[in-house]
């Protein structure tokens, strides 16, 4: 009697298909990311732009080195003394917490951002296969197709600079759980797993959490609209409510809420042409390398589907059977359709464009949308559903030709995204660039200090953030306390305050770095008021206590530029000549001028030696509908008082120049600055220009 042999696994079985997709994803990850970066190495060079990667790893470097404390996600040495929540540095708190637990076993791992990216590259095709099988298509070739299309999805590949947002496998997993949860006779497991996934996604990135939440909310809606019964959607409704409540509680517990977004809804939106416009395409290189733009911020709404997906979609819609499948969607998955419509509306925002053609421009805002300032990203689940629907529908619309069409789609998608994939790999290789001689000077300059102060803080002026971030990175490398940080949201504790920008006594362990406009003036103030001494390197000025030697490699601070007399000086625009005049308390210059943002802004003038007495005329206006009384002081003595009106006008005073320095520092005292709308600044007067006239 012969023994019955156990059948070998079929190439269409789930274990085989998932294994193949996992191997493909792992291959893609190892092709893109160097093993040393996956193992936690950090860049040795800061002379090249590393984009937001520095922001993410800075948060993790501090977090992994600090002991456990409360609040649990706070980096106490980053943005001291308030500290920074690593959720605001997009440092992937869920992964960071895990790495902190195991960090004693891997002390040389300084960052896990690249490890997370490699995980995303690996799981992307696996979760795409899961979503397709959940939809009902379980054959091998469709699985291979969806694995390649998802791994080569331009929206996914283009997000490598925002590491946390590369967790788009979560959306594919959520879509798969949705289809399993809404099957006739489905148990409670899938919807509760989806609810737990949505909650945990908050600790990856809030944007992904909102998208997963939309998919979760579609489950009870589908049950209600399809089955017309509250009973069938009861469990899903409870799961959705529990997930929402858990997100609120966990977010409050971990300090997620209360930050301000800084605006941007309607600016960082999706252009309706974006899914079809082949930006960054290797097949259509004649198309501009930049995204289709109508607002200046629609790069955040980059949604190109890829040539392979577009081919499959077009072939699906060409057949009557394909159109019939599409028309069944409202009947079978009405909740998911409504969720997709809502996400698309949020993505397009209240300034809807197709290419450069305005479709709808309104002042209406979706409630809460301001917190989703980069709303163009919200289309991602819709894009993935289009991809899944194209593969699933093609098999049914073209019962004989679908294998050839899918093979063509695979080839097109792979070729179309060649340049993006190559760019991702080159960006990662760039992080391994060896330290240059200039890098060594940079780090050695900062190494003796355990406290780094950067002025103006990025919370006060973020224009120079690409230049400032390497300083913060160097501080993180040496575990030094730093007073500022570039974050996704601005918390009330770290908001710009004029008092934090003023000179104060320095100890031997503190290095002050002055950047941007007016740094020569600020260096003079630090030297005069706190007996510090300063030097210049590149585009920054460095000041230390006079008790210690000035760091090497620094040049002398140049003398302040002499202000021309009898000449109109503007505070903004092409004729701006104010960089060394606005000493402190002023906001960033705008096209028309500059606002004061404290109660006591100051002006500085270094005049020619032959000027002994001068008159000053300031062209100003107050906040709309709110006159401001402005008192002017010179060396603590009042020299003028004006009632500045909302209409633009000139306000004049005269004063004697100190003979010893020929420098004048004027302090303005503004009576009642106010906040306008959601603008966080404390606005008093707008300064448009000034003129100095020699009297003697």
Identify the CATH number of the domain in which residue 680 sits.
2.60.120.260
Confidence band for 347, pLDDT divided at 50, 70 and 90: very high
Please tell me the distance from the alpha carbon of residue 223 to that of residue 183, in angstroms, as a whole number: 10
Cα separations in angstroms, 116 against 33, 44, 102, 166, 412: 11, 20, 15, 9, 28
DSSP assignment letter at 280: T
Last residue of a domain, one of 556, 586, 603: 556
599 and 645 housed in the same domain:
yes
**What integer best gives the mean pLDDT of the chain?**
89
3-class state of residue 487 by DSSP: coil
308 and 416 housed in the same domain:
yes
Q: Count other C-beta atoms under 10 Å from residue 175's C-beta.
A: 26
Please tell me the distance from the alpha carbon of residue 667 to that of residue 212, in angstroms, as a whole number: 52
Count of residues in the chain:
696
453 and 517 housed in the same domain:
yes
pLDDT number for residue 1: 39
**Cβ neighbours of residue 292 closer than 8 Å, sequence gap 6 or more:** 271, 273, 274, 277, 279, 298, 355
pLDDT number for residue 367: 73
As a three-state string, the secondary structure of 350-394 is CEEEECCEEEEECCCCCCCHHHCCCHHHHHHHHHHHHHHHHHHHH
CA angle 398, 403, 408 (to 5 degrees): 105
Q: Is residue 658 scored above 90 in pLDDT?
A: no
How many domains are contained in the chain?
3
Instruction: Give all strands (DSSP E) within 71-136, no chain letters.
Output: 74-75, 84-85
Confidence band for 580, pLDDT divided at 50, 70 and 90: low
pLDDT number for residue 3: 47
417 and 478 housed in the same domain:
no
* Enclosing domain of residue 379: 116-427
For 438, the token pair is: 């200039």
Residue 621 lies in a domain: yes
663-675 pLDDT tens trace: 788 889 999 898 8
| 338 within 8 A of 221, measured Cβ to Cβ | yes
pLDDT number for residue 112: 96
Average confidence (pLDDT) over 599-607: 84
Closest CA to 381 of 341, 353, 417: 341
Average confidence (pLDDT) over 429-439: 91
442 and 422 housed in the same domain:
no
3-class state of residue 84 by DSSP: strand
Instruction: Give all strands (DSSP E) within 518-627, no chain letters.
Output: 532-537, 540-545, 555-556, 569-570, 582-584, 594-595, 602-606, 613-622
Residue 107 lies in a domain: no
248 and 293 housed in the same domain:
yes
507 and 418 housed in the same domain:
no
Last residue of a domain, one of 502, 534, 556: 556
Q: Is residue 425 scored above 70 in pLDDT?
A: yes
Confidence band for 578, pLDDT divided at 50, 70 and 90: low
Token pair 């922001």 is found at 55
pLDDT higher at 525 or 381: 381
296 and 408 housed in the same domain:
yes
Q: Is residue 6 scored above 60 in pLDDT?
A: no
Residue 136: left if φ>0, alpha if ψ -120 to 50, beta else—which one?
A: left
Q: Is residue 5 scored above 50 in pLDDT?
A: no
Residue 77 lies in a domain: no
pLDDT number for residue 413: 98
Q: Is residue 2 scored above 50 in pLDDT?
A: no
Residue 21 lies in a domain: no
269 and 372 housed in the same domain:
yes
Give the DSSP H/E element, type plus range, for residue 454.
Answer: strand 451-455
Confidence band for 659, pLDDT divided at 50, 70 and 90: low
138-174 pLDDT tens trace: 999 999 999 999 999 999 999 999 999 999 999 999 9
Q: Is residue 598 scored above 90 in pLDDT?
A: no
Residue 46 lies in a domain: no
231-282 pLDDT tens trace: 778 999 999 999 999 999 999 999 888 777 767 788 899 999 999 999 999 9
- Cα torsion for 434, 437, 438, 441, to the nearest 10°? 110
Residue 34 lies in a domain: no
Give the DSSP H/E element, type plus range, for residue 35.
Answer: helix 35-38
Average confidence (pLDDT) over 461-467: 80
Please tell me the distance from the alpha carbon of residue 53 to that of residue 114, in angstroms, as a whole number: 9
Give residue 500's Cα distance to chain centre: 25
Confidence band for 575, pLDDT divided at 50, 70 and 90: low
Last residue of a domain, one of 556, 585, 620: 556
Q: What is the DSSP string of 679-692?
A: --S-B-EEEEEEEE
Residue 52 lies in a domain: no
Q: What is the per-residue burial (b if ≥16 Cβ within 10 Å, else e) of 317-346?
A: eebeebeebeeeeeeebbbbbbbbebbeeb
As a whole number of Å, the CA-based R_g of the chain is 30
328 and 381 housed in the same domain:
yes
pLDDT higher at 518 or 536: 536
Cα separations in angstroms, 475 against 47, 69, 439, 480, 505: 15, 21, 14, 5, 20
pLDDT number for residue 489: 81
Residue 7 lies in a domain: no
538 and 577 housed in the same domain:
no
640 and 577 housed in the same domain:
yes
97-132 pLDDT tens trace: 999 999 999 999 999 999 999 999 999 999 999 999
pLDDT number for residue 266: 87
| 305 within 8 A of 386, measured Cβ to Cβ | yes
Closest CA to 83 of 97, 101, 66: 66
């Amino acid at each position: 009697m012969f023994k019955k042999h156990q059948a070998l696994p079929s190439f269409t079985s789930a274990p085989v298909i998932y294994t193949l997709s996992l191997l493909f994803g792992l291959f893609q990850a190892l092709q893109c990311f160097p093993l040393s970066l996956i193992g936690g190495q950090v860049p040795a060079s800061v002379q090249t732009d590393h984009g937001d990667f520095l922001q993410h790893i800075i948060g993790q470097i501090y977090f992994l080195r600090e002991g456990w404390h409360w609040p649990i996600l706070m980096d106490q040495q980053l943005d001291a003394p308030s500290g920074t929540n690593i959720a605001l540095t997009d440092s992937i708190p869920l992964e960071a917490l895990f790495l902190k637990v195991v960090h004693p076993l891997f002390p040389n791992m300084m960052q896990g951002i690249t490890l997370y990216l490699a995980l995303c590259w690996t799981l992307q095709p696996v979760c795409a296969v899961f979503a397709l099988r959940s939809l009902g298509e379980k054959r091998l070739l469709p699985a291979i197709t969806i694995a390649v299309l998802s791994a080569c999805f331009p929206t996914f590949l283009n997000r490598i600079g925002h590491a946390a947002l590369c967790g788009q496998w979560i959306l594919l997993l959520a879509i798969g759980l949705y289809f399993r949860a809404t099957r006739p006779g489905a148990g409670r497991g899938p919807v509760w797993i989806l609810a737990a996934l949505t909650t945990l996604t908050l600790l990856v990135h809030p944007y992904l959490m909102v998208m997963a939440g939309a998919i979760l909310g579609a489950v009870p809606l589908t049950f209600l609209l399809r089955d017309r019964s509250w009973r069938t959607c009861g469990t899903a409704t409870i799961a959705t409510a529990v997930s929402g409540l858990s997100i609120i509680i966990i977010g409050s517990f971990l300090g997620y809420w209360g930050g301000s977004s800084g605006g941007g809804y309607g600016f960082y939106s999706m252009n309706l042409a974006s899914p079809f416009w082949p930006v960054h395409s290797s097949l259509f290189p004649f198309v501009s390398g930049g995204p289709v733009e109508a607002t200046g911020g629609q790069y955040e709404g980059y949604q190109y589907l890829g040539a392979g997906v577009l081919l499959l979609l077009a072939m699906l819609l060409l057949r009557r059977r394909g159109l019939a499948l599409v028309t069944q969607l409202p009947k079978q998955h009405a909740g998911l359709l409504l969720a997709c419509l809502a996400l698309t509306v949020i993505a397009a925002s209240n300034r809807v464009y197709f290419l450069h053609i305005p479709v709808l421009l309104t002042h209406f805002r979706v409630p809460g949308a301001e917190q989703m300032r980069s709303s163009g990203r919200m289309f991602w689940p819709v894009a993935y559903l289009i991809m899944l629907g194209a593969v699933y529908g093609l098999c049914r619309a073209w019962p004989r030709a679908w294998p050839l069409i899918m093979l063509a789609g695979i080839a097109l998608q792979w070729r179309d995204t060649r340049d993006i994939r190559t760019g991702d790999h080159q960006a990662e290789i760039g992080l391994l660039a060896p330290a240059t001689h200039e890098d060594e000077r940079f780090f050695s300059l900062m190494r003796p200090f355990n406290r780094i102060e950067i002025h103006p803080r990025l919370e006060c002026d973020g224009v120079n953030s690409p230049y400032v971030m390497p300083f913060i990175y160097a501080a993180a490398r040496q575990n030094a306390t730093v007073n500022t940080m570039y974050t996704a949201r601005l918390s009330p504790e770290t908001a710009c305050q004029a008092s934090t920008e003023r000179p104060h006594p320095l100890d031997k362990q503190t290095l002050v770095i002055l950047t941007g406009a007016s740094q020569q003036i600020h260096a003079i103030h630090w030297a005069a008021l706190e007996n510090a001494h300063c030097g210049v390197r590149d585009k920054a000025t460095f000041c230390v206590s006079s008790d210690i030697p000035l760091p090497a490699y620094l040049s002398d601070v140049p003398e302040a530029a002499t202000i021309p007399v009898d000449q109109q000086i503007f505070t903004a625009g092409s004729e701006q000549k104010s960089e060394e005049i606005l000493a402190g308390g002023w906001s960033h210059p705008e096209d028309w001028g500059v606002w004061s943002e404290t109660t006591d802004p100051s002006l500085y003038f270094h005049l020619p030696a032959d000027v002994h007495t001068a008159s000053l005329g300031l062209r100003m206006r107050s906040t709309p509908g709110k006159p401001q009384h402005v008192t002017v002081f010179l060396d603590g003595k009042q020299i003028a008082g004006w009632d500045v009106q909302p209409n633009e006008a000139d306000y004049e005073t005269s004063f004697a120049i100190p003979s010893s320095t020929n420098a004048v520092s004027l302090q303005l005292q503004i009576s009642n600055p106010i906040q306008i709308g959601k603008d966080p600044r404390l606005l008093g007067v707008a300064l448009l220009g000034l003129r100095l006239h020699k009297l003697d």
